[in-house]
Structure 1
Amino acid sequence: MSYFTNSSGSASTGSATTSSSLGDISADITLSSPPEDSISDLEFSTKSDLLAVASWDKRVRIYDVSQTGANSGKAIYAHEGPVLSVAWSIDGDKLVSGGTDNAARLWDVATGQSTQVAAHDDPIRSVRWFTPPGANAQMVVTGSWDKTIKYWDLRQQQPVCLVKLPERVYTMDVSRDLLVVGTAEKHLQIINLKNPETVFESRISPLKWQTRVVACFPDASGFAVGGIEGRCAFVYLDPKNTKLDFSFKCHRTARTRGAGADVYGVNAISFHPVHGTFSTAGADGTFHYWDKDSRSRTKGFPPVGGIISATGFNRNGSIFAYAVSYDWSKGHQHNTPTYPNKIMLHRVGDEEAKRKVTSKY
């Protein structure tokens, strides 16, 4: 059983409440025509039933996924290297992707065409959209292993500005005016997009080991961090709410012989668009739904037969997509031809993802 801790790492007043039984994945649907190599990222549009998937096979694929899980391929376009990140525009009309070819490309839903819109000196690890305060045009922010982020107005060829960071970008997320960037050496860069050229605050991750993923709270009041040590942390930005900061263990398996547990990296954190609960998924091949406000797990699920590398809810939270794919954490030698490489679609029951009504403590 996972347990929650406060930000200092000491045990909280109680253990996490967990669901009494595992969820059912036997009826999960396999997405047709998956990528030919490892799946690095996926994201549903918030305005339609389109699902974008980034892959190490140098392609971005867009699928039509209905509310029932019925699915079909809609479009495909190429990068010149493995694709690491995808993000839908806020209005759902465009998709941006970034990859190891040091480029970001834009795909237009209406025309079906893709064009290069951004460039870095090294691979682009993460891409996101945001709308500057007072502006009527969306912009793209790209984070790279060249230790910079760049902001792009897609009506011009050069970046609007560049922000230097202490290390390589590993992960990045945006919610409203909040941008959080996780880099190598556990640095967390917090940026208020009302003043995007300046890092508002620099922090060291509350986790002990390397950052794998950050995810902003939907209300932009804070963010979640997942690391390689099978632990997540929740960080609130308002100093008045720092007492709400906490961390919890997850994606750990008790050893059958001897004491202790095998620890796995947390590869993905996704927030439910309706209930505000969230999922975690990891290298142990499991995913779980949690309620951060009651500090409890709403539902756990059995192993899916391989590492889960990426996850996402559709626009109304009725479908949860998870990629069963190698995550490259142990180098190329472990990416064998027999390793599973697929995307599964799980129908989300309300009882799985709804918030708990019990007390936090």
Structure 2
Amino acid sequence: METDDQLGVFSTRSAWCNNVLKDFPVCEPPSDSVSALEFTPKTAPFNGLCAASWDQTVRVWEVDSSSKTATPKSLQKMSAPLLDASWNGDGNRIYASDCNGSVFEWNLDANHVSQRKCHAAGVRACRWLWTPKTPLLMTASWDKTVKFWDTRVPQSVVSINLPERCFAADVLYPLAVVGCAGQKILTYSVQNGFVEVCHDDPSKLSEQHLRQQLRAVAVLKGNNRPSGYVAVTTNGLMYVGNIPHISGIQTSAGYKLECHRTYSLDGSSCDIYAVNDVRVHPIHGGIATVGSDRKFNFWNKDKGSNTFKSAFMDQAITKCAISSDGMLFAYALGYDWSMGHEHCDQSLKPQIFFHPCLEDMRPK
């Protein structure tokens, strides 16, 4: 691990900010695009945010919304670019997955990192899963498998073959959702064994499905149980899918919403942007999306309406997260390569901001 002095992690200067919303930034953001953002769980001893990045670091900030500050707390340098990160249930460990198939466990109390080889290719998603018996870590990979781990033992509890490479995944007991290449979404019940309950194809709802790719998924909750999922794609679409087998209630069929597209004044043309991430508000169920169009949007999924649309930022938004109390929305600016290498502006550096979101995300 590099020292704090080498990395300047405890510098007191504020991040450069040209944010028209006056959202407050973190100090010392990563030096490359952010690949994962996660707030601490409710049980954590502090209110914090972690970010994993292509610069091979995992960084943690302590967040104080009243003073609008995010103070650097800790940092670890890993051995490869990182694709995802997740807190454990107690908020004292972080699991980060890399592009080589490994998952790192960072014990913050002991400031110790251990590494295990979990997959034969990059681990696109790692998610902590609470279950009534024992907590598990879910990992999903480009090697076309999803695995569940009891982190106390070296072998996975179960390994499931996927039809294609995993591009996104999320979990909320008892529902696990995995989005694969080929626009395939698989959902599993982990309540009584690991049983596939739905194999969906959102591309059938889009005339442009041959040009799209799944980018992120998030579990939806209704009546205090998972009821379905929301998935976002590279062609400016958000797809809402319902799983009545899991929720125990009858729900409507899936549907799509256009979320990061810009139409000309006469409606004759449309600029289509990738939707890079999606999150669901933990209290009232509003949906947040971020995209290559340099904006974030909040949505009422039931009405298919936009409740808040941000101003344009100076870069694409690569990742986002919502605090466990539902008060803060974090989003990361950086280049997402959607416009090719020729449009990469080296003078623009990655940044992370916080926006108050409780009312802006409330369905109206």
Tell me the TM-score normalised to structure 2 length: 0.85
Q: Greater shift after overlay, 88-97 or 238-247?
A: 238-247
Deviations 1:187-215 (A, max 9, x none): 11111112454433222224522111111
Say whether the 8 Å CA contact 2:326–2:358 is kept in structure 1: no
Counterpart of 2:47 in structure 1 is 49
CA distance in structure 1 between the partners assigned to 2:196 and 2:358 by the alignment:
40
Say whether the 8 Å CA contact 1:324–1:341 is kept in structure 2: yes
Q: Is residue 2:209 matched to residue 1:212?
A: no
Q: How do 1:211-290 and structure 2 match up within 5 A?
A: 211-218=214-221, 219-238=225-244, 241-255=250-264, 259-290=268-299
Q: How many residues are paired up?
A: 330
Q: Is residue 2:84 matched to residue 1:85?
A: yes
Counterpart of 2:184 in structure 1 is 187
Query: Structure 1 residue 254: deviation in Å?
Result: 2.3
CA distance in structure 2 between the partners assigned to 1:196 and 1:128 by the alignment:
18
Query: Structure 1 residue 179: deviation in Å?
Result: 0.4
CA distance in structure 2 between the partners assigned to 1:40 and 1:333 by the alignment:
21
Structure with more relative contact order (C-alpha pairs < 8 Å, separation 6 or more): 1
Matching residue within 39, 50, 60 for 2:58:
60
Q: How do 1:22-37 and structure 2 match up within 5 A?
A: 25-37=20-32
**Structure 2 unmatched runs, 5+:** 1-18
Counterpart of 2:333 in structure 1 is 324
**Structure 1 unmatched runs, 5+:** 1-23, 357-361
Q: Is residue 2:290 matched to residue 1:312?
A: no
Say whether the 8 Å CA contact 1:39–1:326 is kept in structure 2: no
Partner SS state of residue 55, structure 2 = coil
Q: How do 1:99-138 and structure 2 match up within 5 A?
A: 99-132=98-131, 134-135=132-133, 137-138=134-135
CA distance in structure 2 between the partners assigned to 1:151 and 1:332 by the alignment:
36
Say whether the 8 Å CA contact 2:32–2:349 is kept in structure 1: no
Deviations 1:222-264 (A, max 9, x none): 0001111111111111177453532111111124798211000
Deviations 1:161-206 (A, max 9, x none): 2111111110000112100000111111111112454433222224
Say whether the 8 Å CA contact 2:23–2:355 is kept in structure 1: yes
CA distance in structure 2 between the partners assigned to 1:320 and 1:25 by the alignment:
16
Deviations 1:38-87 (A, max 9, x none): 11110101224110101000111111111233111111112211101011
Distance of aligned partners of 1:83 and 1:244 in 2 relative to their CA distance in 1, 3 Å threshold: same
Q: Name the aligned partner's letter for residue 149 of structure 1.
A: V
Say whether the 8 Å CA contact 1:266–1:283 is kept in structure 2: yes
Q: Name the aligned partner's letter for residue 162 of structure 1.
A: S
Tell me the TM-score normalised to structure 1 length: 0.86
Distance of aligned partners of 1:167 and 1:252 in 2 relative to their CA distance in 1, 3 Å threshold: same
Say whether the 8 Å CA contact 1:117–1:154 is kept in structure 2: no
Q: Name the aligned partner's letter for residue 232 of structure 1.
A: M
- Percent identity of paired positions between Structure 1 and Structure 2: 30
Q: Name the aligned partner's letter for residue 228 of structure 2.
A: G
Deviations 1:16-54 (A, max 9, x none): xxxxxxxx9431112110001111110101224110101
CA distance in structure 2 between the partners assigned to 1:190 and 1:273 by the alignment:
20
Distance of aligned partners of 1:129 and 1:288 in 2 relative to their CA distance in 1, 3 Å threshold: same
CA distance in structure 1 between the partners assigned to 2:311 and 2:193 by the alignment:
42
Partner SS state of residue 323, structure 1 = strand
